[in-house]
Amino acid sequence: MSKKAVVLLSGGLDSATCLAIAKREGFECYALSFDYGQRHECELLAAKAVAAAIGVTDHIVVKIDLRKWGGSALTSEIAVPDAGSAAGIPVTYVPARNIIFLSFATGWAEVIGAKDIFIGVNSVDYSGYPDCRPRFIEAFQHCATIGTKAEDEGWQFHIHAPLQTLNKSEIIRQGMLIGVDYSLTHSCYNPGANGLACGKCDSCHLRRKGFEDAGVPDPTKYQ
């Protein structure tokens, strides 16, 4: 009997690698993506392409409108800054995004009988994002367990963050070993109308440097 896992899939480099890892570990994967009003909605096309290429049992795209309250450059008209232009928590941080996403993932997992959830957070490159840190992942795992039937039935959820301590080049190298096609992925926070990456935002900078440091050709099409 196969073990099931819900995998959060944004369509980016990290989540694609995370899905491939879950598949390699023998999980029957259920991919979950979100149309949350993000300015880089072309990532949803990437998520569908990645899910099809790696192979999942089901792929659901949930529509929620985080533009109702904004608070981020990704969900409002706040300008996306160039890489390295600000210290502290960046304006591209979406308030409580991973809490929201993991809550949906927990609900779906409970319904399909999955005890495992995968998320591609990375605390090395994204240390400025509170919801990417190990402490948050550990706390949510506890919350998911005591807030569902797992508590009464004597089992617990496992939130897997296999990329947690890796830098971008290490993630890329690992993904290449297990056959991830990074040309299908999208990372840019501020793509043009033609879908091409801006090449200027933090995410583009981290992606480009990651491929360079890994010694792997960058398949990204930049403006």
CA atoms within 13 A on the CB side of 25: 17
In-domain check, residue 223: no
Q: What is the CATH number of the domain that holds 63?
A: 3.40.50.620
Average predicted confidence (pLDDT) for the chain: 94
The owner of tokens 């319904």 is 111
Whether the pLDDT of residue 40 is over 80: the answer is no
- For 150-176, the pLDDT digits (tens) are 999 999 999 999 999 999 999 999 999
Do the beta carbons of residue 127 and residue 89 sit within 8 Å? no
Provide the percentage of residues in the chain whose pLDDT is more than 90.
86
Whether the pLDDT of residue 184 is over 80: the answer is yes
Residue numbers of the domain that contains 38: 3-214
- For 51-101, the pLDDT digits (tens) are 999 999 999 999 999 999 999 999 999 999 888 766 788 899 999 999 999
In-domain check, residue 91: yes
What is the average per-residue pLDDT within 10-15? 96
- The pair phi, psi for residue 116, each rounded to 5°, is -125, 135
In the chain the beta strands, taken as DSSP E runs, fall at 3-8, 27-35, 58-63, 116-118, 158-160
**Euclidean distance between CA atoms 216 and 155, whole angstroms:** 42
In-domain check, residue 222: no
In-domain check, residue 185: yes
In-domain check, residue 82: yes
Q: What is residue 212's predicted lDDT score, i.e. its pLDDT?
A: 97
- Looking at the structure of the chain, the number of domains it has is 1
The pTM assigned to this predicted structure is 0.95
The owner of tokens 């919801």 is 131
**Euclidean distance between CA atoms 36 and 66, whole angstroms:** 5
* Better-scored residue on pLDDT, 128 or 34: 34
